Each structure stands twice: as structure tokens, then as C-alpha cells.
């Protein structure tokens, strides 16, 4: 069952109530589009965090009942963690731009 904007906001509110301090959470992918109203729902939850704040989120989430949805957490500026291969142009050495 997809997550609506209302369900995502309720989850964020529940997590906020369990946090010991303010943290930065950045919604990415379908989660961000759903929260912005550009999409009706999301099939999973994608958040990015500064590296030092993910632990606080995990602690707060652990205090809640299981939500039944996968939450992908990306840290320290890494989103989706995809490495692309460099392309070779003729005999030039490979390089990333």
C-alpha cells in the first residue's frame, strides 16, 4: 500500500515526538515528490541525513511500532549510492568529469 502525504507527515510527526533534539532530515525521491504534492503517494520512504544525525533518527524510529514500509537512509551527502563507470572515448584514458 503506497504512503500518502498525510501518512508521511504523520510518521515525521511521530518521529519528531521521539527525538531528543532537532535534526536535519531531507526527503528525497518519491518521498520528496509526495511531500511537495507533486505525486499522490510513494511506495517507500527515502531520507538523507548529515552523517552525525542518522543515529538520532534511528533511536527515535526504534521507539515506534513497526510501520511496515522500507525506509532507505542515506548519509553524508550520498543519495542512492550508485557508482557509474567512466566511458572510454576511442583510445583516450577513462575519466570521470
Buried b (16+ CB within 10 A) or exposed e, 77-88: eeeeeeeeeeee
CA 71/CA 82 separation, integer angstroms: 17
Section 20-30 average pLDDT = 93
What's the chain's average pLDDT? 84
Percentage of the chain exceeding pLDDT 70: 80
The pTM (predicted TM-score) of the whole model is: 0.76
Q: Quick count: other Cβ atoms within 10 Å of Cβ 48?
A: 22
Percentage of the chain exceeding pLDDT 90: 62
Section 48-77 average pLDDT = 89
Task: Kindly report, residue by residue over 55-69, the tens digit of the pLDDT.
Answer: 999 999 999 998 888
CA 32/CA 30 separation, integer angstroms: 5
The domain limits of the chain are 3-75
Task: Kindly report, residue by residue over 12-23, the tens digit of the pLDDT.
Answer: 999 999 998 999
Listed residue (61, 63, 64) closest to 47, CA to CA: 61
Amino acid at each position: 500500500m503506497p504512503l500518502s502525504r498525510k501518512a508521511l507527515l504523520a510518521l515525521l510527526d511521530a518521529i519528531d515526538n521521539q527525538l531528543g533534539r532537532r535534526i536535519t532530515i531531507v526527503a528525497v525521491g518519491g518521498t520528496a515528490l509526495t511531500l511537495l504534492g507533486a505525486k499522490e503517494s510513494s511506495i517507500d520512504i527515502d531520507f538523507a541525513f548529515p552523517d552525525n544525525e542518522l543515529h538520532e533518527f534511528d533511536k527515535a524510529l526504534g521507539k515506534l511500532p513497526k510501520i511496515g514500509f522500507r525506509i532507505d537512509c542515506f548519509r553524508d551527502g550520498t543519495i542512492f549510492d550508485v557508482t557509474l563507470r567512466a566511458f572510454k572515448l576511442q583510445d583516450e584514458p577513462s575519466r570521470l568529469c
